[in-house]
Amino acid sequence: MKKTITILLLLAITSICFAQNIVITATDILPELVRMDFDYMISLGGDSSYSNVLYLTQYQIVYIQIKNNTESVLFINPNYFTLISSYNISLPYSSETHVINDKISWLTFTQLQSVDVYPGTTTAGILLFEKEHDHEYPVTIYFNGLNGSPIAVDVILDEKANYNR
């Protein structure tokens, strides 16, 4: 019985340390993309037919960066991320994530890929989450790729945006 409890405690401590050695940042980039789209439209003479705002604003767009400070390989998959929105709704990432670069020619961000992140390395990319409400915005991202203990990350909001909080 003591051995079982000791093993369980060691596993719990190992999971906590492992989670602390993975650094995840998440930033809401939708407001910045809308501003960039406006600048792009202006550069083309103000022709609103080039605007992507209606498409962009259907989604909550989050830039995620993962740094693996462990000594193990960490497998990242977009399916391991869940967004909690300002309406307290859990949202999976949208498959639209994989085609946004095809739809918006000026977009330089790439989508978050399924990848092995080796010790001491970083990966990053965007994920789209479909909005269920017009004024919905991202609050928390959960990463659940550690076999049990999800990591919660508060989404950094754009200081220039009005989120109607």
> How many domains, in total, are found in the chain?
1
What whole-number percentage of the chain has pLDDT above 90? 72
Residue 15 has pLDDT above 90, yes or no: no
Residue with the bigger pLDDT between 93 and 9: it is: 93
- Whether the CB-CB separation of 82 and 152 falls below 8 Å is answered with no
Residue 59 belongs to some domain of the structure: yes
What is the CATH classification number for the domain harbouring 144? 2.60.40
Supply angle C-alpha 133, 138, 86, rounded to 5: 55
Residue 12 belongs to some domain of the structure: no
Mean pLDDT of 67-90: 96
Residue 1 belongs to some domain of the structure: no
Q: What are 112-154's pLDDT values in tens digits? A: 999 999 999 999 999 999 999 999 999 999 999 777 789 999 9
- Expressed as residue numbers, the domain containing 86 is 22-154
User: Would you state the structure tokens that stand for residue 29, as one six-digit string?
Assistant: 């980039």
User: For the whole model, what pTM was predicted?
Assistant: 0.84
Residue 58 belongs to some domain of the structure: yes
